[in-house]
DNA sequence: GCCCGCATCAACCGATCGGTGGAGGTAACG
DNA sequence: CGTTACCTCCACCGATCGGTTGATGCGGGC
């Protein structure tokens, strides 16, 4: 426990929109339990700030120009930074939640959370508790229930990327420096994983699922 | 211009995220030239509020649960509401800007605009001037400059949709009740329009451009 | 040590696709 | 009335794809 009477919870606000930063600062401005000690407008700045001043909880947006939130979390973890990261974003898409949690986020809230929800979440995150927005929790549950029906291998993603870019099997083979037979094998595997029968549908499913685009 | 001493510019803030509304209200709170007279969390509420109280400028988000911003703008125009609408959103994607402008928005700003930019934009919108964020303006210019390099015909979109769903030319022909030759013709045309050489790449470009997905 | 996922390659086949070069019909617009 | 865009259709061809079967080697997990 980091001490109840050990001073306010020190916050770092990371969002590329000044207006959102204003709003967040406003939420905590009136409460003496919190102190916004720094702000950042992208992932790189977030890492710098978090290393420069002592921070307890980072409110982190995910989609930002330059370095995004997930990479920032990864770097902070690599640096051994002790700050808890509470992801606070507009999207609850599958493709956003999992990487953030895997990178080491303590919680995941949507920006449409009410103010008191946000405050409770920050307290919880500071205490090391995992906080998930209900809709996010639901998504995760659905995930583990379905046990990752997709999960293409790295090589399969390479092939799919090239196919989406219009490459023939031959061209993809040249690009990846393997034989055309290998490309075909990868394709058949990823067709089965995605539940499709041809490259066009595979590209479509990949976009729908966020594997591409 | 429209009356310097005629009282503050009355604002309606429409956004589904309380934090964003907080931030926006904060921007105008200190300035006696502005008064936030109402807020709304979605399009339907925005229409109700705008009809209930006199509003000069509406700050409107586009993506909201239920009724989105574009539909709200359309309805307000249909009702003859005199308020200027300044779209203020996170996205500058092609598919968002044009419908909003067509629906009757006076301006289009991104949420990463600085506070002073926002204030100038509201003043300009109040005066009836069109305000476009630089990146948005660039997009529009690119549009008219390129004179719609895409713009698939309805039939071509039908074919593309089926192809993305995994249909063969034969299957698409059955579905659309035309001959396979017709499908092939449509495909070749849309390949040329999208600048690709096969269906997989066409699907990818379509997703990137927002024609699909 | 064994099994499994992954990546790699081969040969073969029928089905499908993309391209070419036409053609006719309708509807909108100036 | 001519132009233009769109939708429709035909025949032919080579290129490409999707599926099958089978194989090798590597690495991790039980």
Chain B positions in Cβ-Cβ contact with residue A198 (cut-off 8 Å):
166, 168, 199-200
Fold of domain B154-209: Arc Repressor Mutant, subunit A (1.10.10)
Beta-carbon neighbour count of residue B94 at 10 Å?
A: 16
| CB B66 within 8 Å of CB B94 | no
| CB B208 within 8 Å of CB A213 | yes
Residue-wise pLDDT tens digits, A171-209: 999 999 999 999 999 999 899 888 899 999 999 988 888
The A-side interface with B (CB below 8 A) comprises 16-24, 26-27, 90, 111-115, 118, 163-166, 168, 196-204, 207-208, 212-213
Taking alpha carbons only, the member of A128, A175, A129, A127 closest to residue A155 is A175
Residues 6+ apart with CB under 8 A from A192: none
Q: Would the pLDDT of B201 be above 90?
A: yes
Handedness of CA B177, B181, B184, B186 (dihedral sign): negative
**A199 to chain B: nearest residue by CA?**
B200
The whole-angstrom separation of Cα B196 and Cα B192 is 6
- Residues of chain A above pLDDT 90, percent: 36
Nucleotide with smallest C1' distance to residue A193 CA: C5
Q: Would the pLDDT of A1 be above 70?
A: no
Asked if B203's CB is within 8 angstroms of A213's CB, the reply is no
Asked if B198's CB is within 8 angstroms of A203's CB, the reply is no
CA dist A192 → A154, A158, A205, B103, B198 (Å) = 16, 16, 12, 44, 21
As annotated, the residues of chain B forming the CATH 3.40.50.2300 domain(s) are: 9-145
Give the residue with greater pLDDT, B87 vs B101.
B87
Nucleotide with smallest C1' distance to residue B181 CA: D9
Distance from CA of A207 to the nearest CA of B (A): 7
The whole-angstrom separation of Cα B172 and Cα B162 is 6
Average pLDDT over residues A47-58: 93
Pick among 3.30.70.3000, 3.40.50.2300, 1.10.3470.10, 3.60.21.10: CATH of A9-145: 3.40.50.2300
Q: Confidence band (pLDDT; 50, 70, 90) for B92?
A: low
| CB A159 within 8 Å of CB A187 | yes
Asked if B165's CB is within 8 angstroms of A198's CB, the reply is no
Chain B positions in Cβ-Cβ contact with residue A200 (cut-off 8 Å):
163-164, 166, 198-200, 202-203
The whole-angstrom separation of Cα A114 and Cα A185 is 50
As annotated, the residues of chain B forming the CATH 1.10.10.10 domain(s) are: 154-209
Residue-wise pLDDT tens digits, B157-195: 889 999 999 999 999 999 899 999 999 999 998 998 888
**Range scoring the smallest mean pLDDT among A36-50, A198-212, B70-84, B128-142:** B128-142
Mean pLDDT of chain A: 81
Average pLDDT over residues A40-67: 90
| CB B19 within 8 Å of CB A27 | yes
Average pLDDT over residues A145-173: 80
Distance from CA of A165 to the nearest CA of B (A): 5
Asked if B197's CB is within 8 angstroms of A200's CB, the reply is no
The pLDDT assigned to A185 comes to: 92
Chain B positions in Cβ-Cβ contact with residue A118 (cut-off 8 Å):
19
Nucleotide with smallest C1' distance to residue A181 CA: C9
Strand, helix or coil at B86? strand
């Amino acid at each position: 426990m980091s001490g109840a009477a050990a001073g306010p919870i020190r916050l770092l606000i990371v969002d590329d929109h000044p207006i959102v930063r204003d709003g967040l600062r406003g939420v905590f401005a009136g409460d003496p339990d919190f102190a916004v000690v720094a702000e950042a407008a992208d992932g790189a700045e977030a890492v710098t700030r978090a290393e420069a001043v002592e921070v307890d909880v980072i409110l982190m947006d995910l989609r930002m120009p330059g370095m995004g939130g997930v990479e920032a979390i990864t770097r902070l973890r690599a640096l051994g930074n002790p700050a808890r990261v509470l992801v606070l974003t507009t999207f609850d898409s599958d493709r956003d939640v999992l990487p953030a949690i895997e990178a080491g986020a303590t919680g995941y809230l949507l920006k449409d959370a009410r103010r008191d929800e946000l405050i409770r979440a920050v307290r919880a995150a500071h205490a090391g508790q995992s906080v998930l927005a209900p809709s996010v929790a639901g998504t995760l549950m659905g995930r583990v229930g379905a046990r990752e029906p997709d999960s293409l291998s790295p090589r399969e993603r390479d092939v799919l990327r090239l196919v989406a870019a219009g490459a023939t099997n031959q061209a993809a083979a040249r690009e990846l420096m393997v034989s055309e037979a290998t490309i075909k094998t990868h394709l058949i595997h990823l067709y089965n994983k995605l539940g499709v029968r041809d490259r066009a549908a595979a590209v479509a499913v990949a976009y729908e699922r966020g594997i591409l685009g």
